[in-house]
Amino acid sequence: MTSSRFVAEELTRFWSELLGVREVEPGAEFAALGGRTQTAARLAELIDEELGAHVSPAELLGAGTLEEMASVVHAAMKAPVSAPTGPTTAGAGTGTVTSASSADGPRPLPDDPDARPALSFAQQRLWFMQQIDPETTLCNVPTVLRLRGTLDRAALGRALETVVARHKVLRTTYRASSGVPHQVIAPPAPVPLPYTDVSDTGTPEAEAQRIAAEEARQVFDLTSAPPLAAHLVRVAPDDHRLVVTFHHIAVDGTSVEIFFRELGLLYGSPDGLPAPALQYTDLAQWQRDRLTGGTLDVLVGHWRSILGDDPQVLDLPTDRPRPVAKSFRGAVADRVLPAELVRAVRAFARSERATVNMTHMAALYAMLAGWSGADDVTVGIPAAGRTRTELQELIGCLINMVPVRARLHGAPGFRALVGRTRAAVLDAADHQALPFDKLVEALVSRRGRDFMPVFRVMFSYLGERRPPVFADLGPCALDLAGPQDTAKYDLSLYVQERGGDAVELSLEYDTDLYGPDTASMLLAVYERTLAEAVSSPDTPVADLPAVRSIAARTPESGRTVVPGNERKTDLDR
């Protein structure tokens, strides 16, 4: 019989590793320490691998505290073992459906060094985008790292070369044979690091920003140049900016953080990191081997049961008629949430055994439903795709967009809506293995296909980022903000933790459709919706004053609404 104390000790170790905390009390709450859906999926995998117990991410999130979670795992370890009979099942909010778990199937293994590696599905989509518009910079991922202290340029250069040598995807180009792209991996080589000293100019900060903006706009030739370019700028003797621009074909947001974390470690200790267990080509091949036959059919069947064929995108009011062709021009509006509201949201999420992420997302559903007049809302969220332990430190484009559909029929209160959102998010996370392009290919007919199928609103909750550490240098600051003049979707809401009770909202909006007044209005309404919802969780969300206010702005059929032409309310001030 397994000791429950042993289980609690093992869970403490897992929590410390996944959540980055040193001490965990028995009554500590997983969500309060930063645990989210993706973290729960990784925790479930560790429990399965090291303790031999199969517990779903939903059960772990539902348990909440370390003590309660240990009881759930202990019970699972004592349960009789039965042979698997087929695909697993997962609750989808609208019933129980047969599904293929993200962790099913054989593990990715190191590739054949003599093979011609195929692209992952995400890479293939990005490669085609570049073929359609070779001059596009929409897929650029610009970053700026501020380094304070006496910088050793030679050590930084060596660290940069070592990171690129460690990860093949950072020295890969892409060629096509008979129209089929494949990866061409170059051997490790020196990495150019241009150096510009602007410390003697009258405006060194402005000059550094100008250089960073120029670097962000460079066009990558994926057929002949690696998907990374770096530039070191000296602002003052003890102040530098390392400007690194990536192409999205090689990285996602998590990969960028891994890149700079390794850069800092290698700057202080050139031999301080073990070789990567896998390369991105291994994942790409594993993905293509797995997503065939029955596994693919099950995943497609599941998403068809959730979304239906030719799912309709949410019809939101716009300031201007939708253009025939999407330009991807955009802008960003920001807003900081009051600290007392941040604390109230966290307390409410804990009481409902949901994550803060799910609570914020439910508020977005309520606002969008009121604005559109619809009771069926689908929003896209990024899924990290790092469902296995060996993928946690892999650099590459693992992220996948998944649609999350919430139904607001029956006049639910916010408490009920959070429950529906929780079920939908967990289900989407469990079926994130189907690439979005495959989903569109299977569910959207060519006749009805447009350039923004399934969803036009994106939501992303971002935890507090830990800056990289460089030996003998002061605290670093890493700016991962992308271009401020582009928009991939009609609306993209980012909720960013800034430490403590600081949470910032950023709304990226399509400037062909919306003006700055509408963007500011939406952030104000969102804040009010969130505040009213957590204080009156059983009031039907459609009756919340903020939701009723934005519903009054909904235009008549066939007419757009221009907020500047309407009477301003206290939401706009």
* The pair of three-digit structure tokens given for residue 556, joined into one six-digit string: 């008549």
pLDDT tens figures, 180-212: 899 999 999 999 999 999 999 999 999 999 999
Q: How confident is the model at residue 41 (pLDDT cuts 50, 70, 90)?
A: confident
77-91, 369-383, 516-530: segment of lowest average pLDDT: 77-91
**Has residue 226 got a pLDDT over 90?**
yes
How many residues does the structure list for the chain?
A: 573
CA distance 512 to 482: 19
CA atoms within 13 A on the CB side of 194: 11
* The pair of three-digit structure tokens given for residue 346, joined into one six-digit string: 């966290």
Q: Give the number of other CB atoms < 10 A from CB of residue 161.
A: 16
Mean pLDDT of 140-167: 96
pLDDT tens figures, 243-285: 999 999 999 999 999 999 999 999 998 887 999 989 999 999 9
**Has residue 96 got a pLDDT over 60?**
no
CA distance 323 to 513: 8
Q: What is the pLDDT of residue 3?
A: 55
64-78, 123-137, 319-333: segment of lowest average pLDDT: 64-78
Provide the strand spans (E) within 162-263.
172-177, 180-185, 195-197, 228-236, 239-247
45-59, 251-265, 513-527: segment of lowest average pLDDT: 45-59
**Has residue 378 got a pLDDT over 90?**
yes
* The pair of three-digit structure tokens given for residue 89, joined into one six-digit string: 């099942």
* The pair of three-digit structure tokens given for residue 238, joined into one six-digit string: 């003890």
Q: How confident is the model at residue 449 (pLDDT cuts 50, 70, 90)?
A: low
* The pair of three-digit structure tokens given for residue 169, joined into one six-digit string: 């995807």
Q: Give the number of other CB atoms < 10 A from CB of residue 120.
A: 26
- State which H helix or E strand residue 388 sits in: none
**Has residue 109 got a pLDDT over 60?**
no
CA distance 519 to 511: 10
- Percentage of the residues of the chain whose pLDDT score is greater than 70: 87
Q: How confident is the model at residue 555 (pLDDT cuts 50, 70, 90)?
A: very low
pTM of the model as a whole: 0.81
CA distance 477 to 180: 41
